[in-house]
Amino acid sequence: MKLLVVSDSHSERDCLIHLKEKYENTVDAMIHCGDSELEVDDPAIQGFHTVRGNCDFGGGFPNDWVGEVDGYRIFTTHGHLYNIKMTLMNLRYRARELNADFAFFGHSHELGVDMLDDTIILNPGSISLPRGRIRIKTYALIDSTAEGIKVRFMDREDNELTELTQVFPLTKHN
């Protein structure tokens, strides 16, 4: 299983088109965690499982997306409806209710990954407007490997931020 996760592109179409051209045929799913500020029928966002962010005012994107890829259950949301800037507890509880292996979110523009309750919780950062201590425009790649689930953060020029790479043990909840 290989996933591409991106968030908070804020009307920047070129970065999404680049990611599609680079990864569309090499990943099992491309996921956008909201605030694309694009219409649902915009060609730049086609092919992404996309959720609605607090800056997405058009209709068409769901608040949450739950799907399965290679037997792994994925819960994706933007995060604003779960108050993620104050606590990850609401997101954590929702992921547990959904029996999710992964919970992906955006909104804060700050990259991060951790494992809570056997669920990998990940914010890929922002591909256009990063915040926090690491102010690099980023997205994430997730791979299932023999060692576990490998999470890599990539900058906008597709360079791996190797100091942030982590491997998590994970067995499927399903």
d(CA 57, CA 37): 7
pLDDT in tens, the chain (174 residues): 999 999 999 999 999 999 999 999 999 999 999 999 999 999 999 999 999 999 998 779 999 999 999 999 999 999 999 999 999 999 999 999 999 999 999 999 999 999 998 999 999 999 999 998 889 999 999 999 989 999 999 999 999 999 999 999 976 766
| Rounded distance between C-alpha atoms, residue 110 and residue 137, angstroms | 10
- pTM equals 0.96
